[in-house]
Amino acid sequence: MPIIIGLTGGIGSGKSAAADLFAARGINIVDADIAAREVVEPGTVALQAIAEHFGPDILLADASLDRRALREIIFTHADEKKWLETLLHPAIRTLIKQQLNEASSAYTILVSPLLLETDQHTLVDRLLVIDCPEADQIQRAAARDQSGPERIKAIMANQLSRDARLAKADDILHNHASLADLETQVETLHQTYLSLAQRD
């Protein structure tokens, strides 16, 4: 199996932006946030369990999950977050493993906000952390999600601290400057990973 690079970072740190730059270089990306959406699509057992637990108001008119409503609940009620994670994380892991097995590029990237908070880190060979000042995380995520800074801070409080994440990194992308600057760093790492993949 090709080497798997785990890409993680806090909300709004630039994981998707970095993953897009690796994808543009032909690298297969497995994205835990996308897997997390797939396991709750209409018709899944997980969505049915969520509707039974939180009540039918958690569904939109088209029977899909009201993600904004669930987000409000789980980041203000720790017990409900635990319940949801116990339901979803095993299903997300199974789907991620399946998608990693299907990857065919020289190396593969698993991008996940909770790589270190869950057992997903056991699926990767090397850890790439994307990092930026917390003020940038809050400003970028709030602008992207049309959400208040307090909401973003509440999510950050449920994720590993910046220092704890950096302490575990094999490689770091410093995303405090422009997207062009990020691309320069991605290109350098891409060459490193290609060399590592050839050695394997």
Ligand X SMILES: CC(C)(COP(=O)(O)OP(=O)(O)OC[C@H]1O[C@@H](n2cnc3c(N)ncnc32)[C@H](O)[C@@H]1O)[C@@H](O)C(=O)NCCC(=O)NCCS
Cross-strand partners of 128: 7, 171
CA pseudo-torsion sign 8, 87, 49, 158: negative
| Six-digit token string for 42 | 């209409």
Binding string to ligand ATP for residues 101 to 130, with x set by CB under 6 A, is what? ------------x-----------------
Residue 159 interacts with which of ligand X, ligand ATP, none, CB < 5 to 8 Å by class: ligand X
C-beta neighbour count of 133 within 10 angstroms: 12
Q: How far is the CB of 55 from ligand ATP (least distance, A)?
A: 27
Amino acid at 105: S
Residue 97 assigned ligand-binding role: no
Residue 148 counted as an annotated binding residue? no
By CB under 6 A, residue 144 contacts ligand ATP: yes
Q: Which of 126, 135, 159, 144 is nearest to 5 (CA)?
A: 126
Shortest Å, Cβ 65 to ligand X: 6
Give the amino acid at 174.
Answer: H
Which residue in 126, 98, 121 sits closest to 4, CA to CA?
126
With binding defined as CB under 6 A, does residue 142 bind ligand X? no
Closest distance to ligand ATP from the beta carbon of 18 (Å): 7
Q: How far is the CB of 26 from ligand X (least distance, A)?
A: 24
Ramachandran class of 43: left when φ > 0, alpha when ψ lies in -120 to 50, beta otherwise: left
Task: Quote the Cα angle for 81-84-90, to 5°.
Answer: 125
Is 13 annotated in a binding site? The answer is yes
Residues 155-194 that bind ligand X (CB under 6 A): 155, 158-159
Select 33 or 119, whichever has its Cβ closest to ligand ATP: 33
Residues 69-128 that bind ligand X (CB under 6 A): 70-71, 74, 81, 84-85, 88, 92, 112-114
Tell me which of 99, 108, 112, 175 binds ligand ATP, using CB under 6 A: 175
Nearest residue to 100 via CA among 119, 82, 117, 123: 123
Query: Which residues here bind ligand X, judged by CB under 6 A?
Result: 11, 32-33, 36, 67-68, 70-71, 74, 81, 84-85, 88, 92, 112-114, 155, 158-159
